[in-house]
Structure 1
């Protein structure tokens, strides 16, 4: 009989103790608690999940930061933010923000949502972190990540680029141990608008010491003596004093900038410093 072939129902009880479970918490499941948000409602469709939220704290925002007087509530405004997708379904947040008018100076302001998202951003901080990992670690395409978030290609790409720049450039110890650098230019824009070139600065110390591969230190828009010189002068004197070798191509602007900003460093002529676009050998 057909019925005899069916798998019998599972009647065994779970081995998980009841103390291992807590009350279902949508905010905790979505990671909203880390953003200072509380979920108040949801609207789930096959195409998208929309979660209504509010900020947890009210008291700290209810007083004017200019004169210190208490504010009167004057309604709410909403921010629409893309959040970390669940099940590859775009998950967006509709954040309701309270507004106040100062009783003293008349200033109007809204709740501070900086824990949830950067000002004027379209993605939550958690979504930016997820997207940066998806692109940089999981090697997903920008278009695929944008589709998962339910935003445009440019919105997602700009957010990832800005978050990556802030993460990398502000990383403690990013410039520690650098003694050999490589400098080269690279064409990154193929339109008539804007500068076509960026100046690429590479740490070649591991290559010289045969301890590893080169690593990117920075990319600065433009290609000129002033661009490289300004970047070098923005580093402190102790860091510049540790630079022993600068590998570069025959561009006079780079050579002059290195000579003026790093007078004690040896200049090595190398048309393709290893790690820079072109991938040659560092002398």
Structure 2
């Protein structure tokens, strides 16, 4: 399903997007050495419920997971890049943490992810991976406009990631979003320009470049959810939800305060 939102629905999407961004920023500030992943999950639940919103994750049970997910935020540490299931783990100095959050308010969902170092960085590779996913996200958003195609976004992302020497997994990537969290079109993190679905005003997209340091292969944890690099290498992930407008793309998941 591909939804085209009305102007009123896009206005509601702005509220959902700002909430997602503000929660992620709050969790980033609270995620210090010694913070437990289950604390982050509990704090996220509190903020979602206080805003009168709903989690897109807690009851999420797709075919590829061992559902339902049962938690409110994805917490990926070091080699865990996608669908990180919160568990009893205290963050250590130098951990590379990815937080991925999707929330629905007033019937419209928004989705975003951030990666950052807890405490002091231990490796220049970690910093570089985070930076390259952010650059790839910026590159994709720059080509989001009516009449562009999803392949143009994929090509922009892949050009940045592959140009920096990373191998790209195209199984999981960006996606449409609206009244539900995951919709068509799929946006792989590498692809050919001029192909795919043609963008139009009212379309919401969650764009999410992610990389692993030395592989493009994933393995699944025994929890049935957490996806890790097959080599145990570190990983990074950046994501925004954007609305396609007549003039280009509006980023919906920017925090209300810097």
TM-score normalised over the length of structure 1: 0.22
Greater relative contact order (Cα < 8 A, sep 6+): 2
Q: Which has the larger radius of gyration?
A: 1
